[in-house]
Structure 1
Amino acid sequence: MSLESIIKKDIITVDKSKTISEIQDLFEKQRDLIVVSNGFFYEGIINESLAYKLNYDPTTTKVKTLMKVAPKLSGNENLDDVSRLMVESGFKTLPYVLQDGSVGGGVFADDVISQSRSVFRNVTAKDIMTPDPVTLDVDSTIGQLLSTMRNSGVSRVIIMKDEQVVGIVTLHDIIQKVIKPKFRQKRDSPIGEMKDIAEGSVKSIMTEDVKSIDENANAFEAFELMKKFRFSSVVVTRNRHLSGILTKEDLLKHIASIKVTEPAIFLQLSKKGVIEELEYDPETIRRRITSLTRKYSKILQNSTLTVYVNGDQRQRKGKPHVIIRIQVNGPYVKTSVTGDGWGIKNSLVDAIHKLEKVLEKDR
């Protein structure tokens, strides 16, 4: 089926001159909002995680300040191309842009996955899930949760009690239950640091109604669960115990890698302000990872490698603190390693060194 058949014409767009407080209610209808200028021309995308910044005043901060430029579609792409662009950009909605630069519609991840059902015919949840997901005890504080998410570079944490899953907290939960209420309370004044929330209980913000699926079930069944309950992930179990987590991103990765003979590499950059200061460009990172996959080509055969690059505002000798997580998902090895350091070069070297240790052990 052609891409044109799933392009939605009726999408929500916002002008880049609007303030965050003017658009924040629109996220309830569409997670990724297409940003335009002069009412029509594509500029970028803004979502909840970009919009809700604690050190910005939502009543004066413009959309153009926090938006991010994302890939645009011409209508000639294949579904695997679109899947790759969604994974690497981190957006589950991409704009369809006409030749004159105006927005003609958008493509949503749910539609891409739905139209790719056939590629999941013989694929189980275990085949493409993320194994050993990040977990936290139910008695933990919100401060511990935020620290875990930041240090692990993840957007969701599974909450456990006595080795059983009792809940899950996603970045969306934090925005909706912690940050957004503060925005509404302080629309007339700048948002400051919310030190008072750190001691709150994880139980107060977690989603208890966690949906799960057996690891031997078909992967597309997981997507149907997500779509039915409007979740972005499901827990994967083995004998009713936690085995992994399967997200829409995992499904998109599989679609994107289906025609790739070498290990598929996905690269995600976040924290725009920090990344701009890094001395490595994305293609340099990709070349380093490609070199690694060729060195371990046998064990990484038919695998996907996702590289998450995060940073924060800490600096040492002019270099930002960078965290790189490399996630490997394949038939012979499933693992995730995290490297950190000052500057992307040191962090990347650390992450690759840790991954090589795992691969040498399993080879």
Structure 2
Amino acid sequence: MERIWLKNYDPAVPHSMNYPQITLQQLLEKSAHRFPDRTAIIFPGVLGDSYRITFQQLNQQVNRLANALISLGVKKGDRVTLLMPNCPQFVISYYAVLKVGGVVVATNPLYSPREMEHQFKDCGTETIILLSLFYRTVAELKDKTGLKNLIVTNIKEYLPPVTRTLFTLLREKKEGHRVDISGIPDTHSFQDLLHRFGDTPPNVEVSTDDIAMFQYTGGTTGLSKGAVALHRNVIANVCQTRSWETPLGLNEGKEVIMGVMPLFHVYGMVTVMHFAVATGSTMVLLPRWETTQVLKAIARYKPAFFPGVPTMYVAINTHPDVKKYDLRSIESCSSGAAPLPLEVQQKFEELTGGKLLEGYGLSEAPVVVTSNPLIGVRKTGSIGIPFPDVEAKIMDAETGEKEMLLEEVG
């Protein structure tokens, strides 16, 4: 296939790449070695305070949880479900599952009990790591599914001290976060497990051809289905995403990434979490979208990268006090999941001085396969050009079997 799009690549972006033969958890181990004292995660509080964890500390907690999972009988190839929003526990749990050779199944916390039941049964999960807010729902599903082990964590466990105190007094019980799991069989406290087990790396052999995750699709043609991704699949996309940012002169171990795109979604999982871990960048995690809080976080923590969706950029553009916040740290934003209107792009770039790039991806890839270039030609309404080593064809809309010629619409 002639890759006619290569002529539109930014000068520093490679046409083809050599991909490292490593697993996803090795990304974390490498950054923990290269940047041990670099902040890996910032989890903001409500008063300008924040919880912070370094790459070395993150890797240690991942090892502790991995050893705990092994003690609970989780073995290579087992599916482990994660049910929580963006928080340090998600990142710790994700890499812990990978270190024991498990398969991550990240579930949308907004799913109905029926949708959760389907997914638990479909993937064959026996262990779930979940936020206490969702404990009652999952506990009711336990006997209906193959669930055996429940590991429960409270969102406040990684909040900074003052915010944690306020949360305990004002929100924990009222919003349903406070649960008592003492004495309940096969139900474990996340923190208790971390305290009980050591941080020696688990001795489990994991290869690049092993399955890393089942990523459930949106179910546009019926019930959602799990797309299978190997370690090498995700590693490749992390490297491709990294290469696309080359024109910016990305400084590994020094960058900050805005992490409000849900990590349970493959887009946020790759472009925020794995990208940050691979490059030794700090991710600022917010558990949900609140425009004012996002603006405060950008102004305070100065992220250069901000993956998102058009509705996020619209919310920022139209916020009545947007000009009160310094957003000029933003250099690059990737926009996916929906078409990006030109006026939204132009307004956001005017406010931040950064580039907002429309692209396209899918769970089966995963995730990004095309994007507009950073400094080259950007076409309005276009999803851009294929990433390095990605091949794309435009086919006829009627049968999907005929390849279209130049200037033809498909």
Say whether the fold is shared (TM-score over 0.5): no
Q: As a proportion of its length, which structure holds more strand? A: 1
- Structure ranking higher on relative contact order (CA contacts 8 Å, 6+ apart): 2
TM normalised by structure 1 equals: 0.30
